[in-house]
Amino acid sequence: MKKFLIVGLGNIGEPYKDTRHNIGFKILDTVATAHEVRFETEKLGDIASFSFKGKNFTLLKPSTYMNLSGKAVKYWMDKEKIAIENILVVTDDVHIDFGTIRIKAKGTAGGHNGLKDIQEKLNTQEYARFRFGVGANYARGRQADFVLGTWDKEETSQLIERLPTSSNVIISFGTAGLANTMNTFNGK
C-alpha cells in the first residue's frame, strides 16, 4: 500500500488555535473529521492515519512549533518509510490572496520559517507544498502580528467553504497524483 505523509504546519497550544499561521492544522483537522479519525499525541507531533482507495495517509501536526517543523517531518518520514515524493506540506502564505490554493512540486521557503526548517532538515527543496493564501492585510512591519492573529468574521465565514476544498486537495494528492492535483486545484 502506497504511503503518504501530509504535514500541516502550525503552532501548538490554545493561544495559536485559530490563527492564520495554523491553517495547516485546521486543514488536517478537516481531513481527519471527514475520514472519521482522531489525532493521537505521539513523538514530535499529533498523528492520525487512515486508508482511502488503497492509499495510506498519515496526517502530522508537529508539536515542535512552526520554526522547528523539520525535525518532526524528518522523524515521521523515516519512521514510516515514506518517500519524499509522497510528502505534502500544508502551510499559510501571505503572498497569496485569502483562500487561494497554490500547490507546487518544489521551491524555496519563500521567507516561511517552517518551510525553511523542513528544507534544512531534509536537505532538499524537492518536496510538495500546499500553500493556502491568508492574504497580506497588514501594515508594514506587522506580518508576525497578522499571521499570529485570529481570522476576522468575514474570513471565518469564507473558511467554511474553503476547508472542504482544501481537504479534497490532500486526498487528490494521494489518489490522483501531484500533477493532476495541481491542474485541478491551483488558483481555486
Catalytic positions, written as ranges: 21
Contact (CB, 8 A) for 109 and 68: no
Q: Which strands make up the sheet holding 101-104, listed edge to edge?
A: 40-42, 45-52, 55-62, 2-8, 87-93, 128-133, 101-104
Query: Helix, strand, or coil here: 81?
Result: coil
The residue behind cell 485570529 is 150
Phi, psi of 178 (to 5 degrees): -65, -50
**What DSSP state is assigned to residue 66?**
G
Q: Catalogue the E-assigned strands of the chain.
A: 2-8, 40-42, 45-52, 55-62, 87-93, 101-104, 128-133
- Nearest CA-CA partner of 129 in 2, 31, 6, 1: 6
- The whole-angstrom separation of Cα 72 and Cα 55 is 22
